A and B are shown apart, each in its own frame.
Chain A
Amino acid sequence: MTAEPKPLLIRFFRALLALDRRWIFLAVGALSLIFLTINVRLPIPVSQQSRDMFNVITSLPPGARVHLSIDYGPSSQAELWPQHVVILRQFFRQRVKVIASSLWADGPSMIERGFREVLEELKKEGIEPKRGVDFVNLGYKAGDRVAIAKIASSFKETFPVDYQGNRTADLPIMQGWDNYSGIDLLITIAVGDPGATEYIQQAQSRYNVRMVAGVTAVLAPQLYSFYQSKNLLGFLGGLAGAAEYETLAGEPGLATRGMNTQSAVHMLIVLLVLAGNAAYFYLRLHGEKVR
């Protein structure tokens, strides 16, 4: 080593690579705060799978039965809650009957929250679906894919009572059907296992039920394969998927609002990756040992 000071760029890149990660944390936090308050709305490009999902749901006739499986909890609500409400709103506006259940213990509370908030909103439009007649929360069922297999053979045996403890056999909404042949659309809003893949394996592919899904962005890449093979008629991936759906439904909401921040933080991460690579190659080129 010579005592000669290193060129500025080398010192800069070295400092960059040695940066305490808490500075990055701070940048991420600050960006998300700032961009949430910026009200510029960029157009949201809509992908084919989201459009297909929208069309499938829009084409449901009044009185159609939908099995809505809410397989997520607060941990992923940031991504899935916007999907959940925009779809639920559409169901009720189209007078579709919603049979909701969950394979995640967190689910029933999310279902209740969904019904509570969407019904409150729709009251203003004069839409007042009745519990037990137009919608029902069947609650949580343990058992993972065993539960799905059980649901597929009989809803009423799997869920003898709803979340409030009423006998499902007595509920008007449960009359005249008991398995997937009575369901016009299966939709799961899911964060992981059990979720979309398990429903495809145990219900969709076995009973040929029409199915769509709303999932987190982490799961989305896998669903492209099921979408191409027509197991899924459409799906939404993460908050971006929710924003696309809001665009299609013409009601920008939570997800659309989040897209500015999403854009900004993504740009930051891309810049960081590029800077990291620039530093890495530059230092390597100048004979420095870097990781």
Chain B
Amino acid sequence: MENLSPFTEGLGIWLTCLLTLAVFSFLYRDNPIYKLAEHVYVGVAAGYYFYQAFRGTVYPNLIQHVADGIQLLNKGDAAGWTAQWRWGALVLGLLVLSRLFPKISWISRWPMALVVGAFAGLNLIGFAQANLIDQINGTFLPLGGYMTGKAEMMPFLPPAGKPGEASVLNHIILVVGVLTVLTYFFFSAKRSPVLARIGQVGIAFVMLTFGATYGSIVLARISLLIGRVQTLEESNRAEFGYPPIVSAVLIVVLLAVWRMVYFRPSDDANIEPEPARKT
């Protein structure tokens, strides 16, 4: 970043390294340094979210919109009236805040009802189109087109060395997979022997799917670590005094002091740690 002064740049790099390693200290065990970093994180995040929600949405879509309407009315333009509908959003917004006061918190159901209704209506259409119709088409159209001679020809077997390419066999696997898994989902309760057999095939597909997802999760998590290690490596610059190495030593020393002087085994909650959940 060429426009930052060397002081600011150095400060930033030091902060990055110290905070990164402070969080990693959790791998040893929960400790005051991690706790400090955690609270700083929550505080900064909350402040940041407040700013974005207010400046990004509440101000332009509510306050400015209404103000613009009033300005139009002052100029004698009746179009300003339609903007005044937005007062409704202000009322709903304030009703959301009624949650802060237990006695009247029930009234926050009104705005939530609006959100729930909007989500329900939008989801109904969106899921029906994208998750259902489009997926049914994707499953059956290529094969149906092939059988009726209306689609471009595809080979029965995928070309050698490229098993992933579209072919009749792969499409049959797809159709069988979708149908058996759906059978497993929807008819697993009333088990006739035939449905149970089909369901078994369905479970096999589900297992392959979950295995693929699990492999992908590993991929994702390791990438996150790589990102941090890359940052630390890039920060390891002589002109700033090797921030990551010095930070690491500093944090290890602090942890050692804490462990020897202040640590009480009773503080150790000894819970299986699960730092944060990611969607």
* A-side contacts of B230, CB under 8 Å: 36, 78, 254, 257-258
A139 at the B interface (CB under 8 A): yes
Please pick, from A77, A143, A161, the residue contacting B227 in the complex, using a CB distance under 8 A. Answer: A77
A10 at the B interface (CB under 8 A): no
Query: B52 near A108 (CB under 8 angstroms)?
Result: yes
Tell me the bound Cα distance from A160 to B229 in angstroms: 40
Tell me the bound Cα distance from A76 to B138 in angstroms: 31
Interface size class of A (residues with CB under 8 A): 35 or more
Interface residues of A in 30-47 (CB under 8 A from B): 32-33, 36-37
A37 — nearest CB in chain B belongs to which residue?
B233
* A-side contacts of B209, CB under 8 Å: 221
CB distance from A38 to the nearest CB of B (A): 12
Query: B131 near A79 (CB under 8 angstroms)?
Result: no
Please pick, from A32, A192, A226, the residue contacting B229 in the complex, using a CB distance under 8 A. Answer: A32
Query: B129 near A206 (CB under 8 angstroms)?
Result: yes
CB distance from B49 to the nearest CB of A (A): 5
* B-side contacts of A144, CB under 8 Å: 119
Query: A105 near B48 (CB under 8 angstroms)?
Result: yes
Query: B135 near A225 (CB under 8 angstroms)?
Result: yes
Number of A-B residue pairs with CB-CB distance less than 8 Å in the complex they form: 165
Tell me the bound Cα distance from A79 to B225 in angstroms: 10
A218 at the B interface (CB under 8 A): yes
* A-side contacts of B165, CB under 8 Å: 48
Tell me the bound Cα distance from A201 to B133 in angstroms: 11
CB distance from B62 to the nearest CB of A (A): 10
CB distance from B108 to the nearest CB of A (A): 16
B50 — nearest CB in chain A belongs to which residue?
A105
- A217 in contact with B226 given A75-B278, A145-B126 (CB within 8 Å): no
Interface of B is mostly: helix
A149 at the B interface (CB under 8 A): yes
Q: In the complex, which of the residues B56, B57, B209, B224 has the most CB atoms of chain A within 10 Å of its own CB atom?
A: B56
* B-side contacts of A158, CB under 8 Å: 61
A227 — nearest CB in chain B belongs to which residue?
B138
B15 at the A interface (CB under 8 A): no
A104 — nearest CB in chain B belongs to which residue?
B52
Tell me the bound Cα distance from A229 to B123 in angstroms: 19
A77 — nearest CB in chain B belongs to which residue?
B227
A203 — nearest CB in chain B belongs to which residue?
B126
**What is the 8 Å Cβ interface bit string for chain B, positions 10-42, against chain A (1 contact, 0 not)?**
000000000000000001100000000000000
A50 at the B interface (CB under 8 A): no
Query: B56 near A261 (CB under 8 angstroms)?
Result: no
* A-side contacts of B127, CB under 8 Å: 201
CB distance from A116 to the nearest CB of B (A): 8
B118 at the A interface (CB under 8 A): yes
Tell me the bound Cα distance from A240 to B12 in angstroms: 29
A237 at the B interface (CB under 8 A): yes
Please pick, from B27, B49, B218, B276, the residue contacting A266 in the complex, using a CB distance under 8 A. Answer: B218
Please pick, from B48, B57, B130, B223, the residue contacting A200 in the complex, using a CB distance under 8 A. Answer: B130
CB distance from B216 to the nearest CB of A (A): 4
A289 at the B interface (CB under 8 A): no
**What is the 8 Å Cβ interface bit string for chain A, positions 93-130, against chain B (1 contact, 0 not)?**
00000000000011010000000100010000000000
B134 at the A interface (CB under 8 A): yes
* A-side contacts of B219, CB under 8 Å: 217, 238-240, 262, 266
Query: A193 near B279 (CB under 8 angstroms)?
Result: yes
Interface residues of B in 183-227 (CB under 8 A from A): 209, 212-213, 216-220, 222-227
B133 — nearest CB in chain A belongs to which residue?
A205
Tell me the bound Cα distance from A145 to B212 in angstroms: 28
* A-side contacts of B52, CB under 8 Å: 105, 108, 139-140
* A-side contacts of B119, CB under 8 Å: 144-146
Tell me the bound Cα distance from A225 to B225 in angstroms: 28
A220 at the B interface (CB under 8 A): yes
* A-side contacts of B161, CB under 8 Å: none
- A160 in contact with B65 given A204-B130, A220-B216, A262-B226 (CB within 8 Å): yes
Query: B122 near A145 (CB under 8 angstroms)?
Result: yes
Query: B220 near A238 (CB under 8 angstroms)?
Result: yes
**What is the 8 Å Cβ interface bit string for chain B, positions 110-126, against chain A (1 contact, 0 not)?**
00000100110011011
A228 at the B interface (CB under 8 A): yes
CB pairs A–B below 8 angstroms (19 shown): A25-B27, A32-B222, A32-B225, A75-B276, A76-B278, A78-B226, A78-B228, A116-B1, A160-B65, A201-B122, A218-B220, A221-B209, A229-B138, A229-B139, A230-B138, A231-B130, A231-B134, A262-B223, A262-B226
Given contacts A32-B226, A160-B60, A261-B229, 5 further A-B contacts (CB under 8 A): A75-B276, A77-B227, A105-B52, A200-B130, A258-B230
Listed in ascending order, the chain A residues whose CB lies under 8 Å from chain B are: 22, 25, 28-29, 32-33, 36-37, 48, 75-79, 81, 105-106, 108, 116, 120, 139-146, 149, 158-161, 163, 191-193, 197-198, 200-202, 204-206, 216-218, 220-221, 225-226, 228-231, 237-240, 254, 257-258, 261-262, 265-266, 269
